[in-house]
Structure 1
Amino acid sequence: MMRGVNRVVFLGRAIRSDFATVSGISSGATHQQLPQFTLYGTCSNPSSHWLSQKAVDHLRFSSPSIAHSVAGIVRYSSASATSVAHDDHAKETLRAEGVLPKDVVLYQYEACPFCNKVKAFLDFYDIPYKIVEVNPINKKEIKWSDYKKVPIVTVDGEQMVDSSDIIDKLLKRMHPDYDLNADEEKRWRGWVDNHLVHVLSPNIYRTVPEALESFDYITTRGNFSFFERLTAKYSGAAIMYLVSKKLKKKHNITDERAALYGAAEQWVDALKGRKFLGESNPNLADLAVFGVLRPIRHLKSGRDMVEHTRIGRWYSEMEQAVGQCSSIDA
């Protein structure tokens, strides 16, 4: 089994559906005519955000080349022995039955939270996969595909897109009888996309130092050239710091940390004393929450969240259940 180093990644997909409003762009605007606003503007989940031309123009005090570059870049306790043994046996059974996919390639942005949601699923099921890091400026790595967002996964040559759809299809291959419409699990998977992610960006970019810390993670782990890395860290952090204030207003957030802590506590309450929402083993909702939180775990916002809420124990249990990253770079 191929295992790599467990990766620390960063998330910001929360700002995707917001920028059409923040930038004054109607939902029907043609995407090809607008520069992408956020690093996650091409993450494959419901809506997209775009940087208004006015915002790009503000960058031209530095130089046209920086403005162009930034416009592209910024779019850019442990488990019981019985439970672990049962989980490992189930995975070995899947391997023996030959239902685990054999050739999996994930096209991603290292910092994309929804790419990390897919990775949490693959890691939990010990499915080896190769990673192709996509450059957010030219996206040359996915020029072969008509679908221009990430994550894209190819499974034995078959293309799959959209994080939730990828997970659903892979799970159905392994467990044809799995009920994807189970009320509790489905409800909390939706909560991740429709609520949890929206409190993250205002926290990640809450202060200038936090914005710089976040972009330092982005630029050192993503597929950037030296110039792109340099301009993204400072210009991108400045933009996102300002935009986060508008996101607070849009989502009626008065206190960023209180909103983050509240979401964490809401999730813990949903567990109702259970180890995982899926009882003795994580289900898809557990993996979704863990996947989108894993990128911020070692940023200041994530450290504060673990320190000031009850989510730390569940998170530690999930780290052990999911294990190390099963990927190798392609």
Structure 2
Amino acid sequence: MRRASTLASSVLSRTLATAHGGAVSDATSLSIQHRLLQAALYGSRTGNAHSQQRWFSPLFSSSSVKRASVGAAGALIAVVTATSLGQEVYAKESALPEAVPKDVILYQYEACPFCNKVKAFLDYYDIPYKVVEVNPISRKEIKWSDYKKVPILMVDGEQLNDSSAIIDKLSEKVFSKKKADLTSEEDEETKWRQWVDNHLVHVLSPNIYRNTSEALEAFDYITSNGNFSFTEKITVKYAGAAAMYFVSKNLKKKYNITDERAALYEAAETWADSLNGREFLGGSNPNLADLAVFGVLRPIRYLRSGKDMVEHTRIGEWYTRMENVVGNSSRIKA
């Protein structure tokens, strides 16, 4: 119960403190543009990396100990009261400790919704992972791989490709089970995971790049967080935003989208309907479909399109619950 723990740490710490006082050919250029556009389909926000604080308690006088004890008791009461009165607290599911991989490396574009889907799984199950940001122009970071798309996940030396396949394989590893015979709940989960890949992701790009100002907003984040040189940042921000504005119009036609915002709102409402009064599709805890929807929406949540989506649909409460239960990123330094 991470939120309660954080609140307890904050209150207890204050109590203790009180007690103690490049040129290329045309063909290559086109190839680079294609890869860049693939990488830049979405803007993204990620959680902060884990931070840990250690409290060192020096020797206290007898009176200080008494004050600290009384204060600590009061802090615990305050935590219980605040939690029960004003906050929803969700317990995370635990992976089997002996099954958690020892070395996980994610090759990604920070702006990729499918990469964010994998990260949502890793974050929720507290699986530590390192990130290698791939330059979408040169892709030199994955030249060693025959598979040239992201995400690529290396798990204890084994290469896993494609976001849904990665999550399936991780689920088998972490929970030591295979989904041979689907229960009705797992069948529902599979249905909605497919909906994410086959429908939800396709309405995102036309919304992110709906107009020039929203395209620039997205690329401002992409170039600030992606693996670009200084020159690439300047070029990509403006040229990329302009290019994606026109690309998004073609995507609207391809997927028969007449009103991009209406399509986004409809998708959000469809997901809200699927919950059927439940906190999560998985019931009291998120399942893989919850994590998939949350993962692909994280890139747009704090862009204009994501803010509009939350304001005009019923998805906001579910999304907030997911933010709380997924918690901070499990990313560690590479």
Given the two structures, how large is their TM-score scaled by the length of structure 2? 0.73
Partner of 1:327: 331
Question: 1:153 & 1:32 partners in 2: Cα distance?
Answer: 28
Question: 1:328 & 1:190 partners in 2: Cα distance?
Answer: 30
Deviation at 1:323, TM superposition (A): 0.8
Counterpart AA for 1:298: Y
Question: 2:257 & 2:237 partners in 1: Cα distance?
Answer: 26
Identical positions, percent: 67
Residue of structure 2 aligned with 1:41, choices 29, 38, 41: 38
Counterpart AA for 1:167: I
SS at match of 2:279: coil
State the superposition RMSD in angstroms. Answer: 2.2
Partner of 1:287: 291
Question: 2:242 & 2:312 partners in 1: Cα distance?
Answer: 27
Deviation at 1:295, TM superposition (A): 0.7
Partner of 1:133: 133
Question: How has the CA–CA distance of structure 1 residues 147 and 295 changed in structure 2, closer, same or farther, with 3 Å as cutoff?
Answer: same
Counterpart AA for 2:136: P
Q: Deviations over 1:258-278 (max 9, x none)?
A: 110000000000000000000
Residue of structure 2 aligned with 1:302, choices 289, 302, 306: 306
Deviation at 1:290, TM superposition (A): 0.3
SS at match of 1:132: strand
Q: Deviations over 1:30-49 (max 9, x none)?
A: 99984452546379xxxxxx
Partner of 1:256: 260
1:184 aligns with 2:181: no
Question: 2:147 & 2:333 partners in 1: Cα distance?
Answer: 21
Partner of 1:221: 225
Deviation at 1:242, TM superposition (A): 1.3
Q: Please, which moves more after superposition, 174-183 or 287-296?
A: 174-183
- Is contact 2:37–2:244 with CA below 8 Å preserved after alignment? no
- Is contact 2:223–2:233 with CA below 8 Å preserved after alignment? yes
Question: 2:172 & 2:194 partners in 1: Cα distance?
Answer: 19
- Is contact 1:134–1:142 with CA below 8 Å preserved after alignment? yes
SS at match of 1:327: coil
1:205 aligns with 2:209: yes
Question: How has the CA–CA distance of structure 1 residues 320 and 31 changed in structure 2, closer, same or farther, with 3 Å as cutoff?
Answer: farther
Question: How has the CA–CA distance of structure 1 residues 117 and 78 changed in structure 2, closer, same or farther, with 3 Å as cutoff?
Answer: farther
Question: 1:231 & 1:33 partners in 2: Cα distance?
Answer: 15
Question: 1:157 & 1:277 partners in 2: Cα distance?
Answer: 33
Counterpart AA for 2:172: K
Question: 2:29 & 2:36 partners in 1: Cα distance?
Answer: 16
Partner of 2:107: 107
Question: 1:203 & 1:99 partners in 2: Cα distance?
Answer: 40
Considering only CA atoms, is the larger Rg found in Structure 1 or Structure 2?
A: 2
Question: 2:321 & 2:125 partners in 1: Cα distance?
Answer: 16
SS at match of 1:328: coil
Consecutive unaligned residues of structure 2, counting only runs of 5 or more, are 1-26, 41-85
Counterpart AA for 1:147: Y
Question: How has the CA–CA distance of structure 1 residues 40 and 223 changed in structure 2, closer, same or farther, with 3 Å as cutoff?
Answer: same
Partner of 1:167: 167
- Is contact 1:78–1:320 with CA below 8 Å preserved after alignment? no
Question: How has the CA–CA distance of structure 1 residues 40 and 243 changed in structure 2, closer, same or farther, with 3 Å as cutoff?
Answer: closer
Q: Deviations over 1:3-50 (max 9, x none)?
A: xxxxxxxxxxxxxxxxxxxxxxxxxxx99984452546379xxxxxxx
SS at match of 2:295: helix
- Is contact 1:115–1:150 with CA below 8 Å preserved after alignment? yes
Partner of 1:72: none
Question: How has the CA–CA distance of structure 1 residues 240 and 233 changed in structure 2, closer, same or farther, with 3 Å as cutoff?
Answer: same
SS at match of 1:277: coil
Counterpart AA for 2:112: C
Question: How has the CA–CA distance of structure 1 residues 281 and 216 changed in structure 2, closer, same or farther, with 3 Å as cutoff?
Answer: same
Question: How has the CA–CA distance of structure 1 residues 313 and 31 changed in structure 2, closer, same or farther, with 3 Å as cutoff?
Answer: farther
